[in-house]
Structure 1
Amino acid sequence: MEALPYLQSISLKKDKIQSFERYPFSIPAVRELSSLHFGKNVTIFVGENGSGKSTLLEAIAVSLGFNAEGGTRNFNFSTRTTHSELHRHLKLSKSFKQFKDGFFLRAESFYNVASNIEDIDDGTLINSSYGGKSLHAQSHGESFLSLMMNRFGGNGLYLLDEPEAALSPSRQLSVLSRMFQLIGQNSQFIIATHSPILMAYPNALIYQIDRNGIHKVNYVETEHYEITKAFLNNPNPMLRELFKHDDT
């Protein structure tokens, strides 16, 4: 039996849910969920805003013991309790081997994580695990990359929610490179993203999340890839369509 993936699958305990008419169980991605298997190295959730990919990733993170706003499993701060109850209704299937390192990175609340790191730091934490420079003293993108380069140590399970939010295309390529290094050190990634660059990681297991639920797709079949490719290959027709006057 292989050690990876650390998180092998999840399933929804539907018999424990009182109503599928209320959030988050009303989201098609949740309502249609029975079981979901994860790739050995990289699993990616893609979908439109509001499709439920971040809600699902958050529930997985909380079920694994991570703080809902992000950080390691040792973080227990809360600036505002807004996460859903979905985590209570997930059943996790894990490897026989426990991951040694882990981090839940979510773009929207990373500022709160950085603040908490400074609050609890005794003078050594930032130097030993975060590159020797306050995350608040770096740009948003620099702090994201610093986290991956310095805090992520391998033999880990890393959950990333829209990490591309603060990253330039070149920095996204740097993230791919760092992912490759960490995967070589027995790590697993689960990522919710809109980025065609990040979802291009070789042999990533990609799940499309939409109004019909969750289904596997190939990279070139994702709407993100198709739209980006069409636009970059020939932007003018698309721009003309977007900017045309409606005289009717």
Structure 2
Amino acid sequence: METDVNRKIKGYGKIKPLFGSRSGVDREDWFRFNSCKKQLTLSIIFIRAFQLNGDELDRQPAATHWSPLMHLKSVRIAHDRFPTTEAYPFNLPIIQHTAAIDFPSPVTVFTGENGTGKSTLLKALCRRCNIHIWEGMHRARYKASRYENLLHLSLDIVWADGAVPGSFFSPELFRNFSQLVDEWAAGSPGLLTYFGGQSLVTQSHGQSCMAYFQSIYQVKGLHFLDEPEAALSPKTQLRLLDVLSAMSAAGHAQFIISTHSPILMSCPGASVYDFNQPTIARTAYEKTRHYKIYKEFFSHGA
């Protein structure tokens, strides 16, 4: 018997439901739920979409006909639309002093010390691109800025050839996603085929993340990663580096990554942006603070 979810997937297209793009979904379907219910609904659509046949997913192999043209060309920070300059994230100096960022290569890296605004801008850019950020269950907080999730409203983006779907990955949020996949797999074991054939929950954190990367990054789109190295050993980071290199070289996938990892920063051809400066500036890999610290440590020890 065809379910409402299956009917939605057929109506909304083959790839868009995978990533939460709103472009093919009725507005009332998106806004009639409260935050918690909307998160669950989106997750169900996401997971059920993986149960379609592989041919229907329009997955792209490593060697494809896709043009190497980037999906996202640039972003401009519209300071005149800031609702305030006194509260986070609009009080971050680097956000106040940066006018725009270009994305000339398939892999872009944001690097800098903790608190410099890397993840803040990454998430805002993801929201501005209309790509859903899975956040699990919302919980009460002691204190939060009312402006915390509004930076995307002050961003103007330029697409190369129209908007594309995409994904957002964060190690701290991935566990909730893995558990939800496992619950669905209990009734539909074939779902795990798209993640290497094994439960994501029964694997280590790093192994389950790699299964996800190897599956989702075969799909054309714009993919955001927020400090993925937190879940990965150095050896597994090298495996992710291979995936990023292969998928970006294929021409169908573009990646924007916030990271402290010199391994991931070394992705061939990546554009590296330094958040340790007064404004966000492009820099050479060897000139990043992280590279210099690791080089000094391995050369002379602590």
In structure 1, the partner of 2:172 is 108
The 1:128–1:95 alpha-carbon spacing in structure 2 relative to 1, beyond 3 Å, is: farther
Amino acid at match of 1:172: Q
* 1:54 corresponds to which of 96, 113, 119: 119
Partner Cα separation in structure 2 for residue 227 and residue 23 of structure 1: 29
Q: Provide the TM-score with structure 1 as the length reference.
A: 0.84
Query: Which has the larger helix fraction?
Result: 2
Shift of 1:94: 0.7
Amino acid at match of 2:78: K
* 1:159 corresponds to which of 220, 224, 231: 224
Partner Cα separation in structure 2 for residue 127 and residue 64 of structure 1: 28
The 1:3–1:150 alpha-carbon spacing in structure 2 relative to 1, beyond 3 Å, is: closer
Matches within 5 A, 1:202-241: 202-210=268-276, 212-235=278-301, 239=302
Matches within 5 A, 1:25-104: 25-69=90-134, 78-80=137-139, 84-99=149-164, 102-104=166-168
Secondary structure in 1 aligned to 2:280? strand
Partner Cα separation in structure 2 for residue 53 and residue 22 of structure 1: 17
Residue 188 (str. 1) matches residue 257 (str. 2): no
In structure 1, the partner of 2:61 is none
Partner Cα separation in structure 1 for residue 221 and residue 90 of structure 2: 30
* 2:241 corresponds to which of 167, 176, 179: 176
Shift of 1:124: 5.5
Please provide the CA RMSD for this pair.
Answer: 2.2
Q: Provide the TM-score with structure 2 as the length reference.
A: 0.69
Partner Cα separation in structure 1 for residue 190 and residue 75 of structure 2: 33
Moved more, 13-22 or 199-208: 13-22
Over residues 200-243 of structure 1, what are the superposed CA-to-partner deviations in whole Å (9 max), with x where a residue is unaligned?
Answer: 112211110136131111000001000101101120xxx3xxxx
Q: How many residues align?
A: 228
Shift of 1:38: 0.9
Amino acid at match of 1:143: S
Amino acid at match of 1:103: S
The 1:9–1:125 alpha-carbon spacing in structure 2 relative to 1, beyond 3 Å, is: farther
Partner Cα separation in structure 1 for residue 191 and residue 200 of structure 2: 8
Moved more, 8-17 or 108-117: 108-117
Secondary structure in 2 aligned to 1:210? coil
Secondary structure in 2 aligned to 1:178? helix
Retained in 1: the 8 A contact 2:245–2:268? Answer: no
Residue 10 (str. 1) matches residue 75 (str. 2): yes
Amino acid at match of 1:195: S
Query: Which has the larger strand fraction?
Result: 1
Amino acid at match of 1:196: P
Secondary structure in 2 aligned to 1:135? coil
Partner Cα separation in structure 2 for residue 159 and residue 80 of structure 1: 24
Partner Cα separation in structure 2 for residue 40 and residue 192 of structure 1: 15
Retained in 2: the 8 A contact 1:159–1:191? Answer: yes
Matches within 5 A, 1:139-150: 139-150=204-215
Structure 2: tracts of 5 or more residues without a match: 1-66
Retained in 2: the 8 A contact 1:172–1:197? Answer: yes
Retained in 2: the 8 A contact 1:4–1:188? Answer: no
Retained in 2: the 8 A contact 1:41–1:189? Answer: yes
Shift of 1:126: 3.3
Moved more, 47-56 or 35-44: 35-44
Retained in 1: the 8 A contact 2:132–2:167? Answer: no
Identity percentage of aligned residues: 35
Secondary structure in 1 aligned to 2:134? coil
Partner Cα separation in structure 1 for residue 68 and residue 298 of structure 2: 41
Moved more, 137-146 or 217-226: 137-146
Partner Cα separation in structure 2 for residue 18 and residue 37 of structure 1: 24
